[in-house]
Amino acid sequence: MAGGMNRYGGQSLPMSERVRLGQEARPAWDREDPPYPGRHCWVLDPADGTAVPRAGLLLEWRRNAGVWEGQVAYLSRHPGRGWAVTVEWLPGSALEVASPGSG
């Protein structure tokens, strides 16, 4: 029914709750979650051009044209706007994965 109520009280049944006929659904508390992918890192060349390393969160790695890049989220200072969250892909050489107790 386009735009109308459905038999789940207006809410679609989430994919995680759908099962094939003859299979039993696992309760939400029994599902395995993937391990936490984020890692603390230092952004060595931040977008604000200060060359002062910024603490960041490494979200994901990818290989692009033979070079490893990391997607990171960190704070950088922007003139007239103050501090802002920056999310960008940077070459691995611009990142240093933080070890416990560093910083």
Q: Is residue 34 part of a domain?
A: yes
Q: Is residue 24 part of a domain?
A: yes
Q: Is residue 54 part of a domain?
A: yes
pLDDT category at 16 given cuts 50, 70, 90 is low
Q: Which residue has the tokens 């060349």?
A: 45
Question: Domain count of the chain?
Answer: 1
Q: Is residue 7 part of a domain?
A: no
pTM: predicted TM-score of the whole model, two decimal places: 0.60
Q: Is residue 8 part of a domain?
A: no
Yes or no: say if 88 and 64 are a contact pair by the CB < 8 Å rule: no
Q: Is residue 10 part of a domain?
A: no
Q: Comparing 35-39, 44-48, 49-53, 62-66, which segment has the lowest mean pLDDT?
A: 35-39
Q: Is residue 93 part of a domain?
A: yes
Show the domain range for 69.
15-97
Yes or no: say if 80 and 94 are a contact pair by the CB < 8 Å rule: no
Separation of alpha carbons 88 and 80, rounded Å = 21
